Amino acid sequence: MVRRQESSRGSMPLSELLVSKESKAMASFGVRDLDTMMRFAPRRYVVPAPLRSLHEVGEGEEVSAVVSVVSLRDRVMRSRRGFVLEVIVSDGIEDMPLTFFLTKQHQVAWHRGRLPVGAHIVVHGTVGRNDYRDELQIAHPTYEPYEDTDQGRAFAQRPRPVYPLRQNIAQATMRSAVEKGLEFAGSLSRPVPADVLARRGLPPLEEAVRLVHTPLTLEQMQQGMAHLRYEEAFVLQAIFAQRRAQDQRTPAPVLAAEGPLQGLFDERLPFSLTDGQREIGARLTERIGNGHPTSALLQGDVGSGKTVVALRAMLRAVDSGHQAALLAPTEVLAEQHHRTLLTLLGDLARAGQLDAHEEATRVRLLTGSQRTAGRRETLLDITSGQAGIVVGTHALLTENVEFASLGLVVIDEQHRFGVDHRRRLRTKGPAGQSPHVIVMTATPIPRTAALATVGDLDVLTLRESPGQRAGVTSFVVHEKLPKWERRMWARAAEEISAGRQVFVVCARIDEDDAADDAPAPSVLDENGKEQPPALDPARGVTQTAQRLAERPELAGVRVGVLHGRMSGEEKQQVMAQMASGEIDLLVSTTVIEVGVDVPNASVMIVLDAERFGVSQLHQLRGRVGRGEHPGIAFFDTSAVPGKEHSQHLEAIAGATDGFALAELDLRRRGAGDLVGEEQSGLQRTLKHLDVMRDARAIEQAREDAFAVVAADPDLTDHPALAGAIADRLRDADPDVERS
Ligand code: ADP
Ligand code: MG
């Protein structure tokens, strides 16, 4: 589906500028106005073969040659309707015919008009053989007038843009559309101020689009592209700058109280906080205390201690007379978080109960599958403010749950949520104030990627993990090598007999259910073309559980099953059994992907691992090795050893640091997927920017855009920038709130 891209900049509609064939071709890419078309970059460039003489070339060769027209003749074709135009050209030594097969008389006249006898032209084409006469010819070459000067030679040798095409669209149509557009380049909207461009050594827009679409050299093309990349980064950063500026004008609850809950909690912690936890805690404290809404991204590997940091901030909210909400992507995880908080807080969470601490608050869980009576009570606690902390899925915010005074929202695993969700929290605070938001993610984002994608968030990173974790070692296992598989299951059995537990994750629930087959990840070749991956059908949870029960290595092992088609109650029961050790081996889908905490689990087996993304695999292996026992992760794959999927899995297995993985992921998939599929955000629509390659441009654009917005917050003096921002936001998400 092609999304309609309208411009709010009053850009010239292409239907007024181009012939209908051209404007339709552009419209098939959603390009409908001049500004969009001039920023629609070629997919690649072809550089013509070096100029040669005709007498040097042979059949099948691609050739560029300077020739002069000797004679022309045309005749009606006998075999089919149409005309043959034969143009004899010479390079001074050799003659060769150029042959055109044409359907209309006027086409013959058009070529004749451009090819007067004696004219110097440069031709590009492939040398072929005329079978009737057994002589060399060039059929349907492209040609243009040639001027024998340095300039003329350079022009003849210029790279030719190649635009993306759809069915029935000719490259020539796209090129002529763009070339017509270039004549009006002076009327383009220029969101980047001229002084900024000058300072960064970038060509003005009008020149930049010429360099992109009609470069004389690839270096020129790069200069032009540098402008488009910078412009894209600049507009994005201006959006972030405006959002920040708006936050600075928006009131938020002041979460500045020094206790008592947070102090009591700290005193009772069975461990001491790491330096990173302390430092980030202090920064968060400062942010949430200053009366304007904070938006922070708290990132750190699985087990790096984010939850503890976030909980301390939540307690500060309660201490300050407000509430905090903790949102998880699934009900299973919400339940898990609820249990974790109750454990961490002990009697501090038991307000209203006999054994409560006198300073205690209530920690409530609200999920969709709750029974009505319990649910009503919970809602009452939320509305009255009795519940200081509320845990739930993000339905908590979309359903009309009334908080007495919501001061802080902590969102776990932002890649499942969409960063832009937090914009919708704006009005959820008390008296129209905006609550603070902390987004926790275990998929750390390299710095420039974070700037380009979530640049309005304060990025806080926990780099070290608390010492106790025993860690995980990962291995790739090839399904087709039965010895390896046997060894893997035997290893799992050894761990189970030593009292530990095992997770087995499948890509789908049921093998008999075709609709359930998880879509295989797309693979891009080096040209960015999608390759259909040849993968075996994925194994299902149901069948895997049956097969495992029959494996001799696993005789007597208690196997449990968990997947998204079970009721909330069933799921909860299975998780409880896993937590209490009544299940030895749990076969599940990725419902356990994030956050599930079974410290006794030591083995993670991912079946058909090639179907999972980098961060998913990393999350999954982070489920084991969380306690005192070292973890082992097996990525079991049907991919051929040494082939791409297999190498990729080896790379993941070998990378332990979340940042190394994030970069691996970025290189492989691009930034769009970085923050997840449900992202409604800006990052999915990056057109020219590559967050790894363009790191410098992104940093510079950020500095420049923040300065522009600081000096002119409403962009009154920068209408072109304001227009580009509006376009960008509409592109990113038609429903997104403009701010
Ligand atoms: P994350 O949310 O980043 O995955 P958690 O906050 O859940 O990490 O912490 C993982 C485990 O480490 C939990 O069992 C937690 O209680 C424990 N933990 C957190 N901080 C520390 C610390 N400073 N020292 C020791 N253990 C810690
Ligand atoms: Mg956690």
Q: Which helix (H) or strand (E) holds 97?
A: strand 95-102
For ligand 1, whether the C-beta of 466 sits within 6 Å is yes
- Closest atom of ligand 1 to 307 CA is 6
- Alpha carbon nearest to ligand 1 atom 26, residue: 466
Query: In this structure, which ligand is nearest to the CA of 465?
Result: 1
At residue 299, does pLDDT exceed 50?
yes
Q: What is the pLDDT of residue 521?
A: 46
Longest CA–CA span in the chain (Å) reads 107
Instruction: Report H helices in 145-271.
Output: 150-156, 171-182, 194-199, 205-213, 218-249, 261-268
Q: Which fold has domain 261-443?
A: Rossmann fold (3.40.50)
Task: Specify the ligand 1 atom closest to the Cα of 272.
Answer: 23
What is the model's pLDDT at position 680? 36
Q: Return the pLDDT at 568.
A: 80
Residue 262 CB less than 6 A away from ligand 1:
no
Which whole number is the average pLDDT over 459-488? 83
Task: Output the pLDDT for position 575.
Answer: 87
Ligand nearest to the CA of 298: 1
Q: Whose CA is nearest to atom 17 of ligand 1?
A: 305
Q: Which residues pair with 362 in a beta bridge?
A: 350, 387
Backbone angles phi, psi at 472, to 5 degrees: -130, 140
Element (H, E) at 488: helix 482-497
Beta carbons of 363 and 391 less than 8 angstroms apart:
yes
Ligand 1 pocket test, pick from 275, 308, 311 with the greatest ligand atom count within 8 Å of Cβ, gives 308
Residue 450 has pLDDT above 80, yes or no: no
Is the four-CA dihedral 329, 331, 337, 341 of positive or negative sign? positive
Going from the Cα of 368 to the center of ligand 2, the distance in angstroms, rounded, reads 22
Q: Check pocket membership of 423 for ligand 1, CB cut-off 6 A.
A: no
> What's the mean pLDDT in 13-37?
91
What's the confidence (pLDDT) of residue 732? 63
Distance between Cα 335 and ligand 2 center (Å): 12
- Is residue 343 within 6 Å of ligand 1 at its C-beta? no
Decide if 536 contacts 638 (C-beta within 8 A). Answer: yes
Smallest CA separation from ligand 1 atom 15, residue? 305
Contacts of 697 (CB under 8 A, 6+ apart): 226, 229, 230, 233, 689
Helix (H, G, I), strand (E, B) or coil at 143: strand
| Domain 261-443 and domain 472-658 have a common topology | yes
| pLDDT at residue 255, as a whole number | 95
pLDDT at 120: 93
Q: Among 224-228, 334-338, 359-363, 430-434, which is the least confidently predicted range? A: 430-434
Nearest CA to ligand 1 atom 20: 305
For the chain, give percent helix, strand, coil, nearest 5: 40, 20, 40
In this predicted model, what pLDDT tens digit does every residue of 74-100 receive, in sequence order?
Answer: 999 877 788 999 999 998 888 999 999
485-532 pLDDT, tens digit each = 899 999 999 999 999 999 999 999 988 875 554 444 444 443 444 444
Q: Is residue 303 in contact with ligand 1, taking CB distance under 6 Å?
A: yes
Q: Cβ(725)–Cβ(232) under 8 Å?
A: no
Tens digit of pLDDT for each residue in 596-647?
678 899 999 999 998 888 878 888 888 888 777 889 999 999 888 777 788 8
Please state, in angstroms and rounded to a whole number, the distance separating the CA atoms of residues 688 and 702: 16
SS3 120: strand
Q: What is the torsion angle, in degrees rounded to the nearest 10, for the CA atoms of residue 147, residue 148, residue 154 and residue 157?
A: 80
Least confident of 372-381, 421-430, 505-514: 421-430
Dihedral-angle region of residue 582 (phi above 0 means left; psi in -120 to 50 means alpha; beta otherwise)? alpha
The residue whose CA is least distant from atom 19 of ligand 1 is 305
HSE of 337 in the Cβ direction (CA atoms, 13 Å)?
32
pLDDT single digits (tens) 692-738: 788 899 999 999 999 999 999 999 999 999 999 988 887 665 444 33
Asked if residue 687 has pLDDT above 90, the reply is: no
- Reply yes or no on whether the pLDDT at 660 is more than 50: yes
Band the pLDDT of 678: cuts 50, 70, 90: very low
Dist. CA 492 → ligand 1 center (Å): 26
Spatial CA neighbour of 189 closest among 237, 138, 231, 151: 231
- Residue having the nearest C-alpha atom to atom 4 of ligand 1: 303
Report whether residue 441 contacts ligand 1, using a CB cutoff of 6 Å. Answer: no
CATH domain 54-158 topology: OB fold (Dihydrolipoamide Acetyltransferase, E2P) (2.40.50)
Judge if the beta carbon of residue 277 lies within 6 A of ligand 1.
Answer: yes
Tokens representing residue 644 in the block: 């791409």
Q: Which ligand is nearest to the CA of 468?
A: 1
Any ligand 1 atom below 6 A from CB of 300: yes
- Ligand 1 in contact with 468 (CB < 6 A)? yes
CA of 644 to the centre of ligand 1 (A): 35
Token code pair at residue 52: 């040669």
With a 6 Å cutoff on the Cβ, whether 274 touches ligand 1 is: yes
pLDDT digits (tens, 9 = 90+) for 568-610: 888 888 988 998 999 999 999 987 654 467 889 999 999 999 8
Return the amino acid letter for 719. P
What pLDDT does residue 300 have? Answer: 85
What ligand is nearest to the CA atom of residue 303? 1
Q: Is 273 in the pocket of ligand 1 (CB under 6 A)?
A: yes
111 pLDDT higher than 90: yes
Residue with tokens 């992202």: 679
Domain ranges of the chain: 8-43+172-216, 54-158, 261-443, 472-658
**Which position has the higher pLDDT, 25 or 618?**
25
The two tokens of residue 628 are: 């005192």
pLDDT at 264: 94
Distance 678 CA to ligand 1 centre (A): 28
**Nearest Cα residue to atom 18 of ligand 1:** 305
Q: Any idea which ligand is nearest the CA of 308? A: 1
Decide: 302 in ligand 1 pocket, CB within 6 A. yes
Task: State residue 582's pLDDT score.
Answer: 94
CA of residue 313 to ligand 2 center, whole Å: 15
pLDDT at 89: 95
Q: Which range, 242-256, 403-417, 433-447, 463-477, has the best average confidence (pLDDT)?
A: 242-256
Among 273, 280, 302, 307, residue to substitute to test ligand 1 (most atoms within 8 Å of Cβ): 307
CA of 273 to the centre of ligand 1 (A): 9
Q: Does ligand 1 come within 6 angstroms of the Cβ of 304?
A: yes
From ligand 2's centre to the CA of 302, what distance in Å? 7
The two tokens of residue 306 are 């984010």
- For the Cβ of 622 lying below 6 angstroms from any atom of ligand 1, the answer is no
The atom of ligand 1 lying closest to the CA of 273 is: 23
Nearest to 634 by CA among 653, 654, 655: 653
Ligand closest to Cα of 328 equals 2
Name the residue with higher pLDDT: 628 or 426: 628
pLDDT value at position 496? 95
Q: How far is the CA of 307 from the centre of ligand 2 (A)?
A: 5
Q: How confident is the model at residue 364 (pLDDT cuts 50, 70, 90)?
A: very high
Average pLDDT, the chain: 85
> 611 alpha carbon to ligand 2 midpoint, in Å?
24
Task: Report the nearest atom of ligand 1 relative to the CA of 300.
Answer: 3
Ligand 2 midpoint to CA 673 (Å): 22
Annotation: CATH topology of 472-658: Rossmann fold (3.40.50)
621 HSE (CA, 13 A, CB side): 33
Instruction: For residue 303, report the distance from its CA to the centre of ligand 2, in Å.
Output: 6
CA gap 87, 101 in Å, rounded: 12
